[in-house]
Amino acid sequence: MVGGALQIAGLLVGGIGMIGTFAVTGMPQWRVSAFIENNIIVFETIWEGLWMHCIRQANIRMQCKVYDSVLALSPDLQASRGLMCAGSVLSFLAFMVAIIGMKCMQCAQSSWQAKGYIILVAGLLFILSGAVELIPVCWVASTIIRDFYNPMVNVAQKRELGEALYLGWVSAFCLIAAGAIFCCFCRCCEKTRSYAYSTPTHYPTHSQHLYRKTESSYSKSQYV
């Protein structure tokens, strides 16, 4: 019962992390224009994402344009594209492996031990996808903070942390938490199986010895 609840909880948390990863990959709010010093044009907001940049004017109209070339992007955004795509694929693969390995799916005639190994693989994939997602999110965030406090950077080019970065941190945490849940479930199953296999040996008691001895003497007297 507890094992089934752990599997369902891990699958739900991992699903939330997977959906969040997909959303972060496509969202343009990685870098948001900062309204500081002389940059007080508040009716226009600039968003910069992995695939496009958008300009939103007075909460009425928004125009987006896909980047013309990957080489025109900064190195952190170039690397973030590949890493986020890899994280999305890994999270989806982990989610599917977790579904296959769940105890309630009754898949094929696979043994309990084989299902435990599948759950362990799903947990490791979840942890790996969360770590892969953390790298680009933290990299872009550190670049934004560094440029924000750099006096050599023009005020109009300074950016703030966008909503996609915060969602990326939450999604990565969900993926790592789901992986930890599945790994803990697999570890608990290993302990349960080892305890079940190591059953104590029952030795005959003194009363059993006495009963056998009486029975043997009785049979001999009958024979005589």
**pLDDT tens column, 4-58:** 777 888 899 999 999 999 999 999 889 988 776 655 555 678 888 899 988 887 6
User: What is the average pLDDT across 101-119?
Assistant: 65
User: What is the average pLDDT across 150-161?
Assistant: 81
Question: Model pTM greater than 0.85?
Answer: no
Q: Given the structure tokens 């109209």, which residue do they identify?
A: 61
In the prediction, which pLDDT does 140 show?
93
**H, E, C per residue of the chain:** CHHHHHHHHHHHHHHHHHHHHHHHHHCCCCEEECCCCCCCCCCEEEEECCCEEEEEECCCEEEEEECCCHHHCCHHHHHHHHHHHHHHHHHHHHHHHHHHHCHHHCCCCCCHHHHHHHHHHHHHHHHHHHHHHHHHHHHHHHHHHHHHCCCCCCHHHCEEECHHHHHHHHHHHHHHHHHHHHHHHHHHHHHHHHHHHCCCCCCCCHHHHHHHHHHHHHHHHHHC
**Distance, CA of 102 to CA of 90 (rounded, Å):** 18
In the prediction, which pLDDT does 102 show?
76
User: What is the average pLDDT across 111-117?
Assistant: 69
In the prediction, which pLDDT does 202 show?
47
**pLDDT tens column, 165-204:** 999 999 999 999 999 988 887 766 655 555 444 444 444 4
